[in-house]
Structure 1
Amino acid sequence: MGVKKKGDKKGVKKGKAKKEPENPLANLSVEEQYNARLVEWRSLQQILIQETEAADRERASENELRAKVNILCNDLEEEKKRTWDVTCDMTRQYKSMQQEKDEKIKVLEERIEQNQVKIQQRDSQLQEIMKEKEGVLREKEEEVKELRKKIDDMSSRFASILKDTLDQMKEKIEMVNKNWEEEMEVPMLKKLEDFAH
């Protein structure tokens, strides 16, 4: 298709030169024209009925779509409301849990501080007890050393006393044996002689 320019007069002449199409019914009689027009009218009426039915169907379809859209919009609004309610509830729960968590953390931190203070007190008490224990152990070790020394002294004294006693007893036993032998030798010989006779 060519684009017509403003100054193009040939296009204008051609447009005016065209004749309108002739009426095909112009050569027919009035009755024939009437019948043809009646047929055309009935045909147009059928087309109108079909178009009206199609339009009604389209309107019904459009109304159905609108109803569906309205239902979907209502569902969407309800879903938005439910979502909003759920979001609000979850936000409230989250804030409540956050506050509860913060309170628990605060309580636990206070407990930690108290426990640290107790631990420091116990550490200092333990150090004092350890110092006292070390002092007591030193004292006991000194006592044990002194007692061992006394035991050693007493053992050596007892040993010397025992040795002296044993020596004295040995001397006495030897003396008793010697005396006994002297005393018993003569009577025994006599008895043996008597026995032999």
Structure 2
Amino acid sequence: MPPKKKTKKTTKKNPEKSDTDLEAKYRRSVLDIATLQDRIALQCESVIKVQSDRIDLRRHMRDMEQKLQHERQDHRDVNSDLSRQYKTMQTELTNKVKRLEKEVSQLNEELALCQEELRKEKREREQMEQEKDATIADLQHKLDNMETDYEKVLHDTLDSLTSQLSVAQKGWEDKSTTLHQNYKGLLSEFGLNALDI
């Protein structure tokens, strides 16, 4: 704090008192100067410390700005890399989707062809089964007719054979009767009785 200025009074005093006053003023001035020098020294130290702190803060701020710049660059690099990876994955996924859609389309076409072929095979099988059933029915009918015909032929043959056998039997009986008669006659000519023999 600067010393207060004293206004000079133009009153006359005694010389001894004025010397002591002067000495007191001088001592006070020396003390004030010493105090001011101490304050100035403290202020200088404070200014030096503030300047040093300011330099440190500026250096720290530069370091932080560089760090921030590096982090921003890293962030941009990461973003760029992630964007590139995303685009690559999106392209790959799009290609895969297109490929799978194409495969699905081909498989659907193949499925449609297979289903058409299956329907055709079923129709052919049903037609073959119908033809087979018709053939079996026709053969069964023919077999039944043949059986009936064979039965008829067999009955006719047996009837014919029976009638032929009857005719033959009758002929043999007639012949046998004739032969018996002839043998009887011959035996009686020789004097033999046919019932005794």
Query: The TM-score by the shorter chain falls in which range?
Result: 0.5 to 0.7
CA drift of 1:133 comes to: 0.8
Of the candidates 96, 121, 131, which is equivalent to residue 146 of structure 1?
Answer: 131
Deviation at 1:132, TM superposition (A): 0.8
Residues of 2 paired with 1:148 and 1:63: CA distance? 121
How far did residue 113 of structure 1 move? 1.6
- Out of 95, 117, 122, which is 2:80 matched to? 95
Q: Secondary structure at the match of 1:27?
A: coil
Structure 1 partner of 2:61: 76
Q: What is the identity, as a one-letter code, of the residue corresponding to 1:43? A: R
Following superposition of structure 1 onto structure 2, how do residues 1-197 of structure 1 map, counting pairs within 5 Å?
23=9, 26-152=11-137
In structure 2, the CA distance between the partners of 1:36 and 1:129, relative to structure 1 (3 Å rule), is same
Unaligned runs of 5+ in 2: 1-6, 155-197
Secondary structure of 1:117's match?
helix
Aligned residues: 144
Aligned to 2:182: none
Q: Show structure 1 runs of 5+ residues with no match.
A: 1-20, 169-197
Q: Which whole-Å deviations, capped at 9, do the CAs of 1:54-83 have from their partners, x for residues lacking one?
A: 221122122212211211111111000011
Give the aligned partner of residue 17 of structure 1: none
3-state SS of the aligned residue for 2:107? helix
Q: Partners in 1 of 2:131 and 2:77 — Cα distance?
A: 79
The sequence identity of aligned pairs, in percent, is 10
How far did residue 92 of structure 1 move? 1.2
Question: How far off is 1:149 after superposition?
Answer: 3.9
Which structure is larger by alpha-carbon Rg, 1 or 2? 2
- CA RMSD for the aligned pairs? 2.7
Q: Are residues 135 and 30 of structure 1, via their aligned partners in 2, closer, same or farther at CA, if it must alter by over 3 Å?
A: same
Counterpart of 2:9, as a letter, is: N
Change (3 A) 1:97 1:22: closer
Q: CA deviation at 1:148?
A: 3.4
